[in-house]
Amino acid sequence: MHFLKWLYPGMKLKRWLLLFSVGVMAASLGLAIIFNYKYVGALEEAIFRMVYLTTGNYYYAVTTIAGTLVVALGLLVMTFATRQIIRSVISVLVPDGHDRLVEIIFQKRKLNRGPAVAVIGGGTGLSVLLRGIKSVTSNVTAIVTVADDGGSSGRLRSDLGIIPPGDLRNCLVALADTEPLMEKLFQHRFGGEGSLAGHSFGNLFIAAMTEVLGDVEQALRESSKVLAVRGKVLPSSVQTIRLLAEMADGSIVEGESNIPLANQRVKRVFISPEDAVPVEGALEAIREADAVVLGPGSLYTSVLPNLLVKGVGEALRQTQAVKIYICNVMTQPGETDGFTAADHVRALIDHIGPGVIDYVVVNSQEIAPVLQEVYASQGAYPVLPDAEAIEALGVKVIKANVISETNLVRHDPLKLSRTIVSMIYKLTVNSERMRLLDYYLIGENIKELKDLEK
């Protein structure tokens, strides 16, 4: 039955099979004309004599059945021959076999027709969303913060004068359609106590590609080829940006990694240089998107640094895309202590201005008391989904079960992507294009669509 996938809509194969059949019939007719029907007539007369003598008055019924069987036999032979040709070719080109090839073609054809989605953020939250989104569309662009100054990324940024590669690496791996070993390699961190200790191989790879090619955007494109990435990964800017925060007491904290350590309420964040130039591809992705998704991720240190880059906020206001903010599930100590969902939205509007968010996705699932206790010991608490306060800000609220509870409270890639795609189905201006996505790819999204319609 797996072979039937070759006949699924969008595979662009049936038309060629039909053309092949027409060609066979045309060749058969041509041969008959060449031989002036002599041999065909002799064969027809032999069949007539044999059938008529054995069936008498049932001649026409029997010949109809016989002709149908011959046609069916011919089609079966053609199908078998075509299948064997395909098998012969792919046995060389794709060692994993026929099933793998048809799956690749099916996914590529369908995913290329998926919605155009621009996702803005950074940190682990962004990579979680990308892992789910890539199963629905390959028309996804991740626009990633370059304000990170801690860990391996911070060291490479300081030593080599490049933008921090850590979040870029995580997004490349999240969107990759490659072998597990390659993913494991890119995420590997060196141990020991030498100069390589703590560095990620993927960070070093991106840094090396940047030095070799002299352009970080080109380095990301080439890295995407190595990992067979679905979609694009772009920095919000290719300039080295420094994130600063004004705290509630008026003090200024410099450096993304230092902001949560100040143990004060953040009043506002800003970047240096303030006129940092955005990547044109990022602006283009926002303008041409069916949906722009902000987050999930740290509000002040992952999401806002991208929006503060000159031109990004304006592009958000001007785009015809549906603009969706995915609110964090838990507060972050030193950054969003005591924040409700409305406080997150208000902070975005205060920094960027109105018109940058249409919808907010908030978690509606109850978090297990045991996990709440664990997080409370670290100063983190569930974010209250205060829907009325959010709507008072002119933003609509979508409540959904979007978390996965193990020993951590995190967004679930599949649940989150299904929620986002079902929203795009319902809300996008490009509804005809969205219709091309089918149940095979989005599964239970149909139920969520009905919930949205209510």
pLDDT at residue 454 is higher than 70: no
Structure tokens at 117: 């989605």
92 and 116 inside one domain: no
134 and 88 inside one domain: no
- The average pLDDT across 165-169 equals 92
**Residue 428 within a domain:** yes
3-state SS, residue 454: coil
Report pLDDT digits (tens) over 336-346.
999 999 999 99
**Number of compact structural domains in the chain:** 2
130 and 83 inside one domain: no
15 and 140 inside one domain: no
Report pLDDT digits (tens) over 265-302.
899 999 999 999 999 999 999 999 999 999 899 999 99
Report pLDDT digits (tens) over 373-411.
999 999 999 999 999 999 999 999 999 998 886 778 888
**Residue 189 within a domain:** no
Residue pointed to by tokens 């092949």: 20
47 and 120 inside one domain: no
CA separation, residue 241 to residues 146, 277, 309 (Å)? 6, 10, 9
Question: Are the beta carbons of 217 and 279 closer than 8 angstroms?
Answer: yes
Q: Give the number of other CB atoms < 10 A from CB of residue 212.
A: 11
pLDDT at 102: 62
- The average pLDDT across 426-438 equals 52
The C-alpha atoms of residue 391 and residue 389 are separated, in whole angstroms, by 6
**Residue 225 within a domain:** no
pLDDT at 72: 80
Q: Which structural domain, as residue segments, surrounds residue 44?
A: 2-96
CA separation, residue 115 to residues 33, 305, 312, 315, 440 (Å)? 52, 26, 21, 19, 15
Q: Give the number of other CB atoms < 10 A from CB of residue 250.
A: 7
Q: 357: closest CA among 304, 426, 411? A: 304
Across the chain, mean pLDDT equals 82
262 and 358 inside one domain: yes
> Which residue, of 66, 96, 126, is where some domain finishes?
96
363 and 447 inside one domain: yes
12 and 117 inside one domain: no
